[in-house]
């Protein structure tokens, strides 16, 4: 990351510090110029390992659905970044990029898939998933009943009837699958004030958040699986760019209204949840940690495949050896 003709200085001067910062930026590290543990670990990765990382990224690109339409949205999980693209005359142009928060590597990983975005929900309700209700929400409500009103929660029965009072029998009904817990629109809503829906079997979507401070973290795997976006207004503008009925002021007004409303998109917009630990930006390679261990699994699968091919291509032994 130093100029090609640079000579190693005797002291840690400004030029060398800038080179370290450039290296840190390319490896998704804090660009503070301090050679700490994370920087030392990245410096210790041998070139062969980085070359293999690039090979795995290129292999994954072979079967990642790209350029499915004139516009698309791609989330790269290890990078914690969303990008929006447009295609004009065969040329792909980046229209938007922003930080995202993805599912926790430990137990709530964001799945990889591609689907079409078909709806936007302004001021959405959050229907608490049964797994979260059982493991988190109900135990919290039993310990702290005041949490129910603080968070704007309510119960919804199988017939659609809404119950706004906390009751032990309602909690038990949720555990039996006879009721669900949902959070009303508002400043504490877990989805923020907008939700981008691309129907899928994992019930994953893009949404805002009432906790934007987490976007300042370098590592951002904090969600239960859905993807939180840093700049929902800019994303909504991109999604609705071809709809003159939805300028920015109207988008902001719908987000702030506090009344849930769903907008069906005139045209589906492809969304790809992708995984690449090596990409190129401004002509330079950038590397990211293997957050979910997907590179390790792919590397093992490719090596096993190569071994099977090698054994299958081995010539048969001579008859005298049989």
What are the backbone angles phi and psi of residue 60, rounded to the nearest 5°? -65, -30
Q: Tokens 């190569």 appear where?
A: 306
| 226 is annotated as an active-site residue | yes
Strands 113-122 and 261-274 come out as antiparallel
* CA 57/CA 298 separation, integer angstroms: 10
Residue written as tokens 């629109």?
A: 185
Looking up tokens 């979507």, which residue turns up?
205
Listed in sequence order, the residues at least 6 apart from 167 whose beta carbon sits closer than 8 Å to its beta carbon are none
Q: Which residues contact 78 (CB under 8 A, 6 or more apart)?
A: 275, 276, 277, 288, 289, 290, 291, 292
Contacts of 139 (CB under 8 A, 6+ apart): none
Q: Is the CB of residue 263 less than 8 Å from the CB of residue 243?
A: no
Rounded distance between C-alpha atoms, residue 312 and residue 245, angstroms: 62
**Nearest-10 crossing angle of helices 47-62, 294-313:** 80
Cβ–Cβ contacts within 10 Å for residue 129, how many?
Answer: 17
Q: Which of 27, 170, 208, 226 is catalytic?
A: 226
Half-sphere exposure of 94 (CA within 13 A, CB side): 9
Q: Which residues contact 229 (CB under 8 A, 6 or more apart)?
A: 82, 98, 100, 196, 206, 207, 208, 235
Pick the catalytic residue from 27, 170, 207, 208. Answer: 207
Concerning whether 207 is annotated as a catalytic residue, the answer is yes
Query: 207 Cβ partners below 8 Å, 6+ apart?
Result: 124, 191, 192, 194, 195, 196, 226, 227, 228, 229, 232
Active site positions, annotated: 207, 226
């Amino acid at each position: 990351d130093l100029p090609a003709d640079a000579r190693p200085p005797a002291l840690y001067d400004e030029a060398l510090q800038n080179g370290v910062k450039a290296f840190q930026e390319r490896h998704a590290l804090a660009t503070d110029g301090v050679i700490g543990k994370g920087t030392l670990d990245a410096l210790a990765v041998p070139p062969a390992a980085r070359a293999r990382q690039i090979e795995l990224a290129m292999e994954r690109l072979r079967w990642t659905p790209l350029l499915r339409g004139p516009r698309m949205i791609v989330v790269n999980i290890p990078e914690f970044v969303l990008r929006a693209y447009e295609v004009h005359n065969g040329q792909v142009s980046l229209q938007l990029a922003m930080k995202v928060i993805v599912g926790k590597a430990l137990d709530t990983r964001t799945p990889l898939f591609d689907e079409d975005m078909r709806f936007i929900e302004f001021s959405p309700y959050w229907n608490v998933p049964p797994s979260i209700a059982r493991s988190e929400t109900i135990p919290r409500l039993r310990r702290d009943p005041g949490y129910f009103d603080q968070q704007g929660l309510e119960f919804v029965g199988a017939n659609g009837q809404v119950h706004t009072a906390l009751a032990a029998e309602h909690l038990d009904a949720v555990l039996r699958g006879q009721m669900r817990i949902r959070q009303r629109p508002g400043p504490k809503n877990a989805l923020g004030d907008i939700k981008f829906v691309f129907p899928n079997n994992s019930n994953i979507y893009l949404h805002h958040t009432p906790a934007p401070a987490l976007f300042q973290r370098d590592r951002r795997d904090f969600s239960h699986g859905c993807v939180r976006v840093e700049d929902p207004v800019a994303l909504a503008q991109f999604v609705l760019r071809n709809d003159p009925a939805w300028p920015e002021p109207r988008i902001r007004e719908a987000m702030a209204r506090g009344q849930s409303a769903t907008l069906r998109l005139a045209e589906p917009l492809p969304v790809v949840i992708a995984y690449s630990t090596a990409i190129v930006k401004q002509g330079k390679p950038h590397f990211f940690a293997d957050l979910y261990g997907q590179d390790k699994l792919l590397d093992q699968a490719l090596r096993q495949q190569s071994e099977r091919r090698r054994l299958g291509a081995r010539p048969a032994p001579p008859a005298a050896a049989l």
